[in-house]
Amino acid sequence: MTRVNDPSSNQDERLADFTERVLKGQAKEIDSNADQELRDLEETILRLNSTLPPASLDEAAAKQMLVRLKARVRKEGKSAKPSFWEKWFGVEWRSSLPRPQFGMAFAVIAMIVVLALLIPSLVTSGSPITATALTPSQNVTLVILLAGAILFIFWITRRK
């Protein structure tokens, strides 16, 4: 399992070691003994370290950022548009739904309820001859329209 003699493993070690030295400020230029490939990688590390030096944030700056963060949260809270449900029913339904899947489940249940209410009117009672009227096809259209409306409302309320 050991890869001691594996040249790539050796390169991994040397590059990691070089990185440690660069980040500790102990190496500021390419290791002259390295082979060309490793020298190229070392150059990339030096470039990364000089262009994107490690950042630090003092406590005062962090506090100021928290103050601005809270101000933004308050501002966004005040300017947030009420949702469809809140606007029309005075209830924030969606905030009480912890996951989007619950919203989808709600729409599916609503559809099942509508279908359950309407299906009995589609089934003709008595002789099949009496089922030749136009009423069933109108009901099917109604069901499709209602289902479409529910899905449309659901889609509208999910849009930002």
The interface mask with other proteins, positions 29-68, x = CB under 8 A, is -----------xx--xx-xxx-xx-xxxx----x--xx-x
Query: Least CB distance from residue 4 to other proteins, whole Å?
Result: 10
Q: Which of 21, 73, 74, 140 binds other proteins (CB under 8 A)?
A: 73
3-state secondary structure 109-136: HHHHHHHHHHHHHHCCCCCHHHHHCCHH
User: Each residue of 97-123: b (16+ CB within 10 Å) or e?
Assistant: eeeeeeeeeebeebbeebeeeeeeebe
The interface mask with other proteins, positions 96-115, x = CB under 8 A, is --xx----------------
Measured CA to CA, the distance from residue 155 to residue 107 in angstroms comes to 10
Q: Which stretches of the chain bind other proteins, using CB under 8 A?
A: 3, 8-9, 11-13, 15-16, 19-20, 23, 40-41, 44-45, 47-49, 51-52, 54-57, 62, 65-66, 68-69, 72-73, 76, 98-99
